[in-house]
Amino acid sequence: MRLTAIEEGHLRNGMPGTIGIAGLFPADGPPFDLAWLRARVRERWGGLERMSLALRPPAGPAAFTGHRWAVRPFDPAAHIASDDRDLHTLLTDAVSRPLPEDRPLWRLLVTERATADGERAVVLLAHHALLDGRSLETLFRLLMDDAAPPRPSAPGTPPRRRPVRPATVGRELRVIGARGRALPAPAERYAPSVAVVRLDAPVMRAARRQPEAGRGATLNELLLSSFAGALRARYGPLRAWPAGPAPLFGTVPVDLRGRHDAQRLGNGVTALRIPLPVDLDSPVARLRACQEEVAAFDHRCDAHRAILPPLLATARAMPWLAEVMARRLARPELTTSLCTAFKWRDNPSRLHGSTLARVVPLPQLATPGTANLCLVHCADTYTLTVVSHLRDGDAELLGGAVARELASVAACEAPAARPAREVRAR
C-alpha cells in the first residue's frame, strides 16, 4: 500500500518525525502492570489496521518510487516497555531521534518516576508519517477504562462542501507560499530542547475571559497571541529583527476530518499560516488580532479542501515532488512555529483505576531556527510543551515567556481599542 504524499513528505523532510502524547497519573496509585497494559492495547488497538503498518523502503530509485506500508501481525510486546527515565529526558530523547523502522512506527512507554512529584506517566510516541496529533489523542482515549469502542467511518460519500471561489483559492495559495522570517537565533549554536510548563489554572481561566467585552478566547487564540508577546519580550519588535519587512508566520494545524470520519487514524490535518502580531504593544490587542485571523479558518479550510486533492495526487505520483515540497515547507522562513492547542474532554478519565491528572503533548522537532508549541487543557490543568531547535535551553526561556504573557493577558482590565478592519468584519 503506497503512502500518501503527506506521509511521504513526513519521511523525506530530513527530521526525526517523532511526536507524542503523555498521560500523567498520581504518585499514590499502584504501578502499571505491563502485562495488563499489553492486554488492554491488544483489546483496544488490535483491530486497527493502522497500528500494524510497518514501513517498506522504495523498491526502486527514491525519486520515482515511494515507500509502502506492509501489514504486520499485531504484537504489543514489541512496542510496550517500561522506562526509567524522567519525563523530560524521555521526551527530549524522543524528538531527537527516529523510531526504529523494523516494526510499526509507534511505541508505548511507562515510567514510574516521571516527575519530581513522583507522578507516573504513560507515553505514546509515533512517527508523524503514521499518525498525526489528533490520531494520538484518539488512540489514548481508547485506552481509558470507560472508553467507547471506535466508531467506523460512516458509509457513503463525505458531506457536500460549499463551493469555493477561485479568488479564495488564489489568496490562500499566496499565503502558503509567502516568505516570512525565521527566529533570530545564531545558526552556529542550534540545539534541540524541550520544556514542559505547567500553567496556573486561575490565570488561564482569567485569560480565557478576555477580551473583557468580547466572547472570550479559545486556547488556540491565547496560545498564538501569547507566543507573539513572548517573542516580542525576548527578541523585541519585528522592526528590530533581521531579514527586512517580512512578517513572522505562526502555523496552526487544523483537522479536516468531519463527523463521518472523526476517528480516522493517519494524517487528516492541514496547516494554516497567520502573521503573528509581534509588533502590537498590548496583550489584549495581540489577542484581538489573533481572534480576527482564527475567525477566517473555516473559509480557509474550504480552500485547502479544494487545493489539496489535486496537489497531493500529483505529489504521490512523483515522490521527488513530495520531497521537494516537504523540505521547502520545513524551512524556518516558511514554517517557523507550529502552534497547537486542544482540550481533553473526557473527565474524569481513568487507566486501570488511576485517574488521569494531566496530559502532556509532544510536538515534533522541526528544522533549525524553529520552535513548536502545544497547549492542552485537561480537567483543571493546563500544560504547555515547547520543542525548540534554537539555542540550547531556549525551550525553557520561551515557555516561561509565554506563561508570563498569559498572566499579562489575564491581568488586563480594560479592552484595547479594536482595529478598524475588525469592526468592519463584524
- The 10s digit of each residue's pLDDT in 149-181 is 766 655 555 556 677 788 888 888 888 888 898
Residue 413's pLDDT is 66
> What percentage of the chain exceeds 70 in pLDDT?
93
The vertex-281 CA angle with 280 and 283, nearest 5°, equals 90
Q: CA-CA distance, 114 to 361, in Å (whole number)?
A: 14
Question: Is beta strand 68-71 parallel, antiparallel or unpaired with respect to 53-56?
Answer: antiparallel
Average pLDDT over residues 347-359: 93
| Least confident span in 45-49, 195-199, 223-227, 317-321 | 317-321
In this prediction, residue 22 carries a pLDDT of 98
At residue 199, does pLDDT exceed 60?
Answer: yes
Q: Quote the CA–CA distance of 257 and 154 in Å, as a whole number.
A: 12
Is the pLDDT at 258 greater than 90? The verdict is no
Q: Please, which residues have CB within 8 angstroms of residue 245's CB and are 6 or more apart in sequence?
A: none
The number of helix segments (H) and strand segments (E) in the chain equals 12, 15
64 pLDDT higher than 90: no
**CA dist., res. 326 & res. 318, Å (int):** 13
Instruction: Decide if pLDDT at 338 tops 60.
Output: yes
Cβ atoms 111, 87 nearer than 8 A: yes
pLDDT attached to residue 30? 85
pLDDT of residue 242: 79
CA distances from 277 to 292, 373, 380, 386, 414 (A): 11, 17, 29, 19, 19
Average pLDDT for 257-275: 90
How confident is the prediction for the chain on average, in pLDDT? 89
Query: Which letter does DSSP use for residue 2 in this model?
Result: B
Q: What is the pLDDT of residue 367?
A: 93
The predicted pLDDT at position 424 comes to: 30
Asked if residues 414 and 281 have their Cβ atoms less than 8 Å apart, the reply is: no
pLDDT band at 1 (very low <50, low <70, confident <90, very high): confident
Check if the beta carbon of residue 87 is closer than 8 Å to that of residue 10. no
> How many Å apart are CA 111 and CA 97, to the nearest integer?
19
| Residues near 227 by beta carbon (within 8 Å), at least 6 away in sequence | 250, 276, 337, 339, 373, 398, 402, 405
Cell 506500508, located at residue: 69
CA-to-CA distance for 285 and 395, rounded, in angstroms? Answer: 25
Residue bearing the bigger pLDDT, 219 or 102: 219
* pTM, to two decimals: 0.91
Find all residues with CB under 8 Å of 96, minimum gap 6, and list them: 16, 192, 365
Q: 76: which strand partners?
A: none
What is the model's pLDDT at position 63?
A: 73
Between 241 and 366, where is the model more confident? 366
What is the arithmetic mean of pLDDT over 228-253? Answer: 90
Torsion, CA 99, CA 101, CA 107, CA 109, rounded to 10:
-60
Show the cell assigned to 338.
507550529
Lowest mean pLDDT among 90-104, 159-173, 335-349: 159-173
The answer on pLDDT for 16 being more than 70 is yes
Note the pLDDT of residue 164: 78
Supply the pLDDT for residue 153.
57
Question: Quick one: which H or E segment has residue 324?
Answer: helix 319-329
Q: How far is CA 426 from the centre of its chain?
A: 30
Q: For residue 64, give the 3-state DSSP assignment.
A: coil
For the chain, the 3-state helix, strand and coil shares in percent, each to the nearest 5, are: 40, 20, 40
| Helices assigned H by DSSP within 55-113 | 87-96
Q: Out of 14-28, 209-223, 353-367, which region has the weakest mean confidence (pLDDT)?
A: 209-223
